[in-house]
Amino acid sequence: MTKKAIYPGSFDPVTFGHMDIITRASCIADELVIGVLNNRAKNPLFSLEERVSMIKEMTGDMPNVTVASFDGLLVEFMNEIGATLIVRGLRAVTDFEYELQIAQANHVQDSKIETIFLTTDPKYSYLSSTIVKEFASYGGNIANFVPECFIDRIYKKYQ
């Protein structure tokens, strides 16, 4: 049986840290779906369509990776697409408490669903989409945070 995994997130915008997890997770799962959350509670910098399209641009050459958006509960979306494994990145101990809670809650919701954590490459352990937006909003250098092709698109959001 092939193992279909999902890497869910907001990806607003996708960073080098996310790309590292995507690349590594694509070597573990047979199929990897990047699940982009349409989070109505948040007011994202990039629209859902833009976020999906940015990740597609970065993963076009990864044959077992697809990108999809979802709305509502992750476990329900996973049942729709037949995925049983959630991949999340852990940057630091501070991530752990929240991630543990979500992983356990998702497993209680549906016992088929397991979560695996990939520890972030130390060179990205400080990096988050929030950090990218904070620096970009002040015109700071974000070249070490996101792929070059996104830099102008991010700055334009603050013009």
Residues annotated as catalytic (active site), given as ranges? 18, 42, 91, 129
Which residues ranging from 60 to 99 are in contact with ligand PNS (CB under 6 A)?
73-74
Beta strands in the chain, from DSSP E residues, in sequence order: 4-9, 31-37, 65-70, 85-90, 114-119
Residue nearer to ligand PNS on the CB measure, 87 or 159: 87
For tokens 């070249």, name the residue. 143
Whether the CB-CB separation of 142 and 14 falls below 8 Å is answered with no
Which residues ranging from 36 to 55 are in contact with ligand PNS (CB under 6 A)?
37
Amino acid identity, position 126? Y
Write the binding mask 18 to 37 for ligand PNS: x where contact by CB under 6 A, - elsewhere.
-------------------x
What whole-number distance in Å separates Cα of residue 11 and Cα of residue 51? 7
Q: Which of 68, 81, 90, 102 binds ligand PNS (CB under 6 A)?
A: 102
Peptide bond into 13 cis (omega under 30): yes
Whether the CB-CB separation of 132 and 20 falls below 8 Å is answered with no
Considering the rule CB under 6 A, would residue 8 count as an interface residue with ligand PNS? Answer: yes
Size of the residue set binding ligand PNS (CB under 6 A): 8
- For ligand PNS, the binding residues (CB under 6 A) are 8-10, 37, 73-74, 102, 105
